[in-house]
Amino acid sequence: MKKVLLMMAFVMPVMMMAQTKTAPQKPRQNPPQERVSKTSFEYMEMIATEVVKKAVASPKKSKKSKEKASTEKTTKSYQITFNFGRESKDLKKRVGKASTMNRPMDALSYLGTMGWELTAVSGNSYYLKRRAR
């Protein structure tokens, strides 16, 4: 009987403590989750086709020699077209005045100020991208 009373003396306080309210816990803070940014890009192909224009002047004889002066002058310019992979109704908004420029380097410089980034070049085709707005 002594053993039972002794065991009860040790077990009873523990059992009484188990029935009391638990201490309030601090709210757990979750570690910061990495934010996944959903970035979308617009892609464009700029094609620069060389156009050679020949201007013919009226034939004139030079006064000092009897040979005819050269009558043809050739000028180089480029026709710049843009391909977005689908028909674009707002071409002016996307490329601005780059479609009216005469040289590809001028058009690329202008497009760079509008946020377009040159990604690849293949012959006369220039591939550009920018973040979608």
Burial class (CB in 10 A: 0-12, 13-18, 19+), 127: middle
Residue with tokens 């028909």: 87
- From first to last of its 133 residues, what are the pLDDT tens digits of the chain? 788 877 778 777 777 665 556 677 777 777 777 776 778 888 999 999 988 877 766 565 555 655 555 566 777 788 888 888 877 777 767 787 887 888 899 999 999 998 999 999 999 999 999 988 7
**CA-based nearest residue to 124, from 83, 89, 69:** 83
